């Protein structure tokens, strides 16, 4: 169990539902929050840089960190692709006097909520429909059709876990969803405990 020195905001969603877009909005609007940079074994996409969006690791390096107990949680999110939250990230952010923003998959979000309890708020971003989710993944154009199929298959399982989150927010009209998430998070961060 880590020493909890701040609060945590946990954002999870099926891939393509809009959690990166909404997380970036929160980070721009609130200087109290800082993004937890996860480690991953997937390759960088587009303009992604090591140490900005992710720490990009080889599979042996990732496995070594698992063995050394460096992750608070990790998942094989897709076959052969590992993602994990480093304990050192939380310590770094809390030492900066900020609260941690996690953008993790649905299982990871449920694990983190169990660890941080009422020091955290968990928000599930729900796409308006499976059809709209597919459209967004195609429009984002960051995955090939095979990967999109894999992400959609996983999404249908993940949506069944939404009720394990503190809040479920439907991301239909983006500006409205951003505003609502911001209000939920601001109210949580301003609470005393
Ligand atoms: P995630 O991080 O959950 O995988 P992204 O934030 O990358 O999802 O969003 C997936 C795609 O959908 C992006 O191209 C984004 O611009 C778009 N998008 C996000 N929210 C909306 C919305 N409410 N309406 C239409 N498109 C959206
Ligand atoms: P992407 O490859 O699209 O960046 O991310 C794929 C999925 O992995 C997303 O759902 C993202 O939230 C999730 N993810 C990113 N970092 C972590 C992490 O540290 N732990 C877990 N469990 N999932 C993560």
Please tell me the residue having the least CA distance from ligand 1 atom 17.
136
Domains of the chain in sequence order: 8-190 (3.40.50.300)
> Which pLDDT tens digit goes with each residue over 91-111?
999 999 999 999 999 999 999
Supply the pLDDT for residue 144.
86
Output the ligand 1 site: residues, CB below 6 A: 13, 15-21, 136, 139-140, 171-172, 174, 177
> Which pLDDT tens digit goes with each residue over 132-177?
999 999 998 878 898 899 889 999 999 999 999 999 999 999 999 9
Question: Which range among 1-5, 34-38, 90-94, 120-124 shows the weakest confidence by mean pLDDT?
Answer: 1-5
> Is the separation of the CB atoms in 93 and 34 below 8 Å?
yes
Output the ligand 2 site: residues, CB below 6 A: 15, 38, 42, 73, 75, 77, 83-85, 103-105, 108
> Which pLDDT tens digit goes with each residue over 60-72?
999 999 999 999 9
Q: Tell me how far the alpha carbon of residue 38 lies from the centroid of ligand 2, in angstroms.
A: 8
pLDDT band at 1 (very low <50, low <70, confident <90, very high): low
Kindly report the pTM of this predicted structure.
0.94
- Please check the confidence at residue 79 and state whether its pLDDT lies above 90: no
Supply the pLDDT for residue 117.
95
Please tell me the residue having the least CA distance from ligand 1 atom 5.
18
> Which pLDDT tens digit goes with each residue over 30-52?
999 999 999 999 999 889 999 99
Burial pattern 75-89, b for ≥16 Cβ within 10 A else e, equals bebeeebbbbbbeeb
Ligand at minimal distance from the CA of 36 is 2
- Please check the confidence at residue 5 and state whether its pLDDT lies above 90: no
């Amino acid at each position: 169990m880590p020493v909890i020195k701040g609060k945590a905001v946990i954002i999870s969603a099926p891939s393509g539902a809009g959690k990166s877009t909404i997380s970036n909005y929160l980070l721009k609007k609130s200087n109290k929050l800082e993004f937890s940079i996860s480690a991953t074994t997937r390759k960088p996409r587009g303009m992604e840089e090591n140490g900005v969006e992710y720490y990009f690791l080889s599979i042996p390096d990732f496995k070594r960190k698992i063995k050394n107990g460096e992750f608070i949680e990790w998942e094989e999110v897709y076959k052969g692709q590992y993602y994990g939250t480093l304990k050192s990230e939380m310590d770094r952010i809390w030492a900066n006097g900020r609260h941690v923003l996690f953008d993790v998959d649905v299982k990871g979000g449920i694990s983190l909520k169990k660890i941080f309890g009422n020091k955290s708020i968990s928000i599930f971003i729900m796409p308006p429909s499976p059809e709209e989710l597919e459209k967004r993944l195609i429009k984002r154009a960051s995955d090939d059709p095979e990967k999109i199929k894999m992400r959609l298959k996983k999404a249908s399982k993940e949506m069944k876990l939404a009720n394990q989150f503190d809040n479920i927010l439907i991301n239909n009209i983006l500006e409205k969803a951003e505003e609502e998430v911001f209000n939920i998070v601001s109210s949580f961060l301003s609470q005393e405990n």
